[in-house]
Amino acid sequence: MNFEYRGLPWNIVFGHGSLASLPDRLAAMGLSRALVLSTPNQSDDGLLVCGLLGDKAAGLFDQAVMHVPETTVQLAIEDVKQKRADCTVSIGGGSTTGLGKALALKLGLPNIAVPTTFAGSEMTNIWGITGDEGKVTGRDDAVVPSLTLYDPELIMTLPAELAGPSGLNAMAQAVVNVAAPDANPMVSLMALEAVRILSASLPMVMERPTDPEPRCEALFGAMLAAAALGTGITSLHHRLCHTFGGTFNTPHAETHTVLLPHCVAYNAAATSQGTARVAQAMGVTNAAEGLFDLAARVGAPTALREIGVMESDLDRAVEVALANPVVNAEPVTPSRLRMLLQNAWSGASPAPITSQQ
């Protein structure tokens, strides 16, 4: 066995009621003026955090939106300066955490994350900012939150229609790091456990929406999945999600949900050992079909046509996805990719696409 592994500077507190410890933890970190970040939808959550922080809150910036537009980052920078904030506290999903990361990148400002979805951005060193040229992403350890407070009570308000796709977004982060050639054994440990936990807990989240237990389990699974992504790899799947989100503005988590089974089927022959391990962790015989069925079970979309993609967009998507070389287990040619996308667009069951087709 040969491998290299480098962890990220995570500082995690996980548990019911952990949000209440935020003021003391900020003080212990020598921070005293937090700009609280949220989306407009979650401004009440933002105000709650401001109330909790009392005189340690510099104010609320509640304009976080999906994909971190450069214009929003500039507005937030002005707010940081005007309010003389010495850190940010993001309460929300990946969009809000992403804004905190952008401010950490641009200003070197410590960022604290309080996640309320299963997106897992807080566990990765991946940042993204969207400007005129589209979404630019990169990896930088400076954007990893100085502290992450996982308080499962905050997940209770996540509506079912967001929870299902969000959980499958997490699942994708884990699956691509197991169903890969030469999967890193340290990353696989976290990823496989994430697959096992998420596949068991997500249907329970749907069946028992007011039960905190499955939501807490799923949050832990999502944390592990994102830890795998943070120290692991991305491949064709993430390239395609980036393509559809960036070019056709499809919703992030739903795009993952639809594409994952098809990408797993596409790579199945080249990653047979890893794909079998994913299936085993899910308790199914075929990983791609298991993921497709799981999406349907949690009420998530299973076709690109359901999330605003037109059939006539597919040729353009192939062009954009392959504009730069993609690192992937199975070689990606335009014709095979077009077939994959046709299946994903129509909602067909995921199928391997051989080079002879």
Binding site for ligand NAD (CB under 6 A): 39, 41-42, 66-67, 92-96, 98, 116-117, 119-121, 124, 126, 128, 154-155, 157-158, 162, 166, 169, 252-253
Q: Would you say 223 or 339 has its CB closer to ligand NAD?
A: 223
Structure tokens belonging to residue 112: 């604290």
What's the burial of 226, exposed, middle or buried (CB within 10 Å: 0-12/13-18/19+)? buried
Q: Is the C-alpha dihedral spanning 137, 320, 263, 67 positive or negative?
A: positive
Residue nearest to ligand NAD (CB): 94
Question: Residue written as tokens 């199914």?
Answer: 284
Cβ of residue 155: shortest distance to ligand NAD, in angstroms?
6
CA-nearest of 192, 164, 172 to 236 is 172
Cβ of residue 274: shortest distance to ligand NAD, in angstroms?
21
Q: Would you say 67 or 305 has its CB closer to ligand NAD?
A: 67
Cβ of residue 209: shortest distance to ligand NAD, in angstroms?
12
Cβ of residue 152: shortest distance to ligand NAD, in angstroms?
11
Cα 317 to chain center, whole Å? Answer: 21
Residues with Cβ within 8 Å of residue 33, at least 6 apart in sequence? 56, 57, 58, 83, 84, 85, 86, 87
**How many residues would you count in the chain?**
357
What's the burial of 74, exposed, middle or buried (CB within 10 Å: 0-12/13-18/19+)? exposed
Q: Would you say 42 or 267 has its CB closer to ligand NAD?
A: 42
Q: Would you say 46 or 110 has its CB closer to ligand NAD?
A: 46
Q: Would you say 155 or 321 has its CB closer to ligand NAD?
A: 155
Q: Would you say 126 or 281 has its CB closer to ligand NAD?
A: 126
Q: Would you say 247 or 342 has its CB closer to ligand NAD?
A: 247
Cβ of residue 246: shortest distance to ligand NAD, in angstroms?
10
Cβ of residue 333: shortest distance to ligand NAD, in angstroms?
27
The amino acid sitting at 151 is D
Q: What is the dihedral of CA 310, 316, 322, 326, to 10 degrees?
A: -20
CA distances from 135 to 7, 67, 228 (A): 26, 7, 23
CA distances from 238 to 72, 114, 255, 259, 356 (A): 24, 24, 10, 9, 25
Cβ of residue 158: shortest distance to ligand NAD, in angstroms?
4
What does the alpha-carbon distance between residue 128 and residue 78 come to, in Å, rounded to a whole number?
19
Q: Would you say 135 or 338 has its CB closer to ligand NAD?
A: 135
What does the alpha-carbon distance between residue 100 and residue 123 come to, in Å, rounded to a whole number?
13
Cβ of residue 295: shortest distance to ligand NAD, in angstroms?
15
